[in-house]
Structure 1
Amino acid sequence: MRVILVLGALIALGPLTIDMYLPALPSIVDDLDSSSAAVQLTLTGTLIGLALGQLIIGPLSDIVGRRLPLISGTAVHIAASLLCAIAPNVAVLGLFRGLQGLGAAAAAVVAMAVVRDLFTGRAAATVLSRLMLVMGVAPVLAPSLGGGILLVGSWRWVFGALTILGVALLVLAVFSLRETLPPERRRGRGFMPVVRTYGGLLRDRQFVVLVLVAALAMSALFAYIAGSSFVLQEEFGLNEQQFAIVFALGAIALIGASQFNVLLLGYFTPVRIVISALSGAVVAALVMTVLAVAGIGGMIGFLVPLWFVLGAVGLVMPNAPALALSRHGEAAGTAAALLGAAQFGLGAIIAPVVGALGNDNVAVSVTMVGVSAVALAALIAVTVTSAKNTRASTTSGV
């Protein structure tokens, strides 16, 4: 439990970095004399930083251990948060947000690698579900914290708060997290061993599909994150504090489903849970799209099916990564890096797509339908192929 609490606090740095400034997006547009699409690209910058950072830090953590990359990355996040607070225009803000994401990537990838160092299979899925409960407090609180800060200060104060948070988490990492990768289990130094490891992972078709499923599920969440402040504040007229409350309700749906997943794991396999959850997500997203296009139901017609989609994502997010990481325990850091990079990299693509489609409820709904349907089709395809190969192998053996 202590390990889960520490990892949960550290991995919360990413969601807090992403979500805490969401209520401030419209005010950043006005203050920096920019457009909503341009300001939305600062979110894309953060996600790109998170993706690239994990590709670098993951293999590094397999070589030098978990603690050093974690501590160094958190220090980078602190410096970047300070720079964001004094950014003079939206282009510079986007650049520093990318650096901020790069620093936060250390906590994300190291936490996943530590889970794989200590747990496997259903145990890993259970721990990730518990970890989601701890880290799930972050997206619930982040917009509320941001909204509260905006009551007394400008959007720049939000990044000042993230600086203070980074310092607190750095102290926690230094004094509360032991090294979980002993020297005898570390991988060889050099560029080519890293390339070979990534090559081996990418040749594993099932691993690649599971990573894709996890990334697409995360993209459904990022579609909501990217468009939520504009949909709820500009389209439905909520203020910054009301937006924070509604956003928190969606996060609660996500967290509740992730905890229900622990109970489901006692009766069903992770693969079956993921297929069922994605099927539900497709149906709910289709309902949301129809209501949005027809203009029926208003904000309630948008939020109710949205919460079902977020609940489905809460079931996919612990299981798909656990299944993927269980296939490559010998390179947990690199595997976690590829997983995280895919999740945040695809999220970086999805965020501007929502903006390009109009930043309204139709844009969010259509995007959620697309990513959920592709994830479901990919998982069913690889599951069917795997079953056929197993039957063929058994028949051949007989």
Structure 2
Amino acid sequence: MTTSSQRLSFTLVLGSLAALGPLCTDFYLPSLPELAAGLGTTTATAQLSLTAGLLGLGLGQLFFGPLSDKLGRMRPLLASLFILLLASIGCSLARDISQLLAARFIQGLAGAGGAVLSRAVARDLYNGHDLTRFFALLMLVNGLAPIAAPVMGGALLSWTDWRGLFMVLAAIALLLLVLSVWRLRETLPASRRTPASLFGVYGGLGHLATQRQFMGLCLTQGFSMAGMFAYIGASPFVLQQIYGLSPQSFSFCFAANGLGLIAAAQIAARCSIRFGELIPLKVGLAVAGVASSALVACGVFRAPLPMILTALFFSVMINGLIGTLASSLAMQSQGKNAGSASAIIGVGMFALGALSVPVTGIGGTSVVTMGLTIWGCYIIAILIFTFVVNKKVLA
């Protein structure tokens, strides 16, 4: 980028692409109860549409990430956006829950392209604390998605139904396709691409999986994000059906937590300059453990809604700090294989998130089941960091 305006537009488009994951999951959240009724299915089955999308987001990154190390970033990105457009239309036209689950899985696969390639492009351009700051900037941009998506979705439900929301997603995919062609450029020249065959490129994922500190950081972030996805999947039912919030009120609660995510990411960037990435990451994991424990206690003792929302806020917002720092540390060790490394980070987040969502519905979705799932994910993240990442750093 040669001018500040070009750099800003590049960052905005890149951040929007990184936001495709949360956009595909958060935008239709206020309509989940209506969707379940409209398709004549149960709450737990309707939640599987979220699980299907998250699985697609995870597996799709394993496809698009290594492919971009071989072919460059732009061609896989444009292909993913075109497929996202078609899949979003398919979700809108689904006649039963089975068709919706299939379309949601494909939608997730396609949405993974933007998520994985935005991190790979950032690694093409930056390293060290510059990479941490750029990830924080991306979090600032794509953090608007968890804020705006449910608010927009809740507002649009006043004049359309859940099918209309998926058509809006199709329009967003088309807009991003146009903006990517117009504003982005290839950041991985042919001289830096992986010379191996496609089979060899995908086989290289196994080599990354043997790197202890890299995988420890990926799993630390993955289980932390799984806790947040448990919140995403359970909160519409907890706050709307149990506590009686309207879709619009739920959307504003969701937006407040999104603002917390953005603030925590910016704190992470500032702290990394003074203290490095490891110390703030340790603090963030400790906060996650305390906040999620408080959420469980609120559920067990039937605390009033304001106390639950406060504990939920801190349980969610800390992911902005953990995600920024863990991603930066993991990606800093990977230059040539940035696409593959980004894919492993992404599949950890979304695959583990897909597994955590249905756990919140065991025995009926409630504050207790949501809180216990979030707490369990955070405790696993803390243990992995303590005995895999931190032990390796100290060795």
Which aligned pairs between 1:279-290 and structure 2 lie closer than 5 A?
A: 279-290=286-297
Structure 1 Cα separation of the partners of residues 227 and 363 of structure 2: 15
Flag the 1:388–1:142 CA change in 2: closer, same or farther, 3 A.
closer
Answer whether contact 1:8 1:132 (CA < 8 A) is retained: yes
Alignment partner, residue 320 of structure 2:
314
Task: Measure, in 1, the Cα distance between the counterparts of 2:390 and 2:52.
Answer: 37
Q: How far 1:195 sits from its partner (Å)?
A: 4.1
Opposite residue 237 of structure 2, the aligned amino acid is F
Structure 2 counterpart of 1:300: 306
| Deviation of 1:332 (Å) | 0.3
1:255 aligned partner:
262
Percent identity between the two aligned chains: 38
Letter in 2 for 1:361: V
Alpha-carbon distance in structure 1 between the residues aligned to 2:196 and 2:79? 19
CA contact (8 A) 1:40 1:351 kept: yes
Quick one: distance in 2 between partners of 1:195 and 1:58?
9
Tell me whether 1:75 sits opposite 2:75 in the alignment: no
Give RMSD over aligned pairs: 1.2
Matched, 1:18 2:28: no
**From 156, 172, 177, the counterpart of 1:149:** 156
Give CA-to-partner distance per residue, 1:167-202, whole Å, 9 cap, x none: 100001111100000001101242441244112101
In the alignment, structure 2 segments of 5+ residues that lack a partner are 1-7
Give the CA deviation at 1:6: 1.6
**Distance 1:174-1:89 versus aligned 2 partners, 3 A rule:** same
Q: Paired residue for 1:349?
A: 355
Shift of the 335–384 alpha-carbon distance from structure 1 to 2, 3 Å rule, reads closer
Q: Which amino acid counterpart does residue 140 of structure 2 have in structure 1?
A: L
TM-score by length of 1: 0.95
Alignment partner for residue 376 of structure 1, among 374, 378, 382? 382
Q: Secondary structure at the match of 1:179?
A: coil
Deviation at 1:360, TM superposition (A): 1.1
In the aligned structure 1, how far is the partner of 2:390 from the partner of 2:182?
Answer: 47
* Structure 2 match to 1:273: 280
Alpha-carbon spacing, 1:209–1:384, altered in 2? closer, same or farther (3 Å): closer
Q: Which residue of 1 is the match for residue 225 of structure 2?
A: 218
Partner of 1:97: 104
Matched, 1:359 2:361: no
Alignment of 1:83-232 (within 5 A): 83-232=90-239
The amino acid that maps onto 2:116 is V
Question: Structure 1 stretches (4+) deviating beyond 6 angstroms?
Answer: none
The question of 1:334 aligning with 2:337 is answered: no
Greater shift, 190-199 or 307-316, is seen at 190-199
Distance, in Å, in 2 between the alignment partners of 1:280 and 1:263 is 18
For these two proteins, the number of residue pairs brought into alignment is 388
Matches of 1:384 and 1:82, distance apart in 2: 45
Counterpart contact for 1:292–1:301, Cα < 8 Å: no
For 1:284, the aligned partner's letter is: A
- Which of residues 228, 244, 252 is equivalent to 1:245? 252
Taking a change above 3 Å as real, the CA distance of residues 239 and 200 of structure 1, as seen in their structure-2 partners, is: same
The answer to whether the 8 Å contact 1:21/1:146 transfers is yes
Q: Does 1:33 align with 2:40?
A: yes
**Aligned mates of 1:207, 1:175 — CA distance in 2:** 35
3-state SS of the aligned residue for 2:337? helix
Q: Which residue identity lines up with residue 47 of structure 1 in the other structure? A: L
Pick the aligned partner of 2:330 from 324, 329, 349: 324
- Flag structure 1 segments of 5+ consecutive residues without an equivalent: 390-398
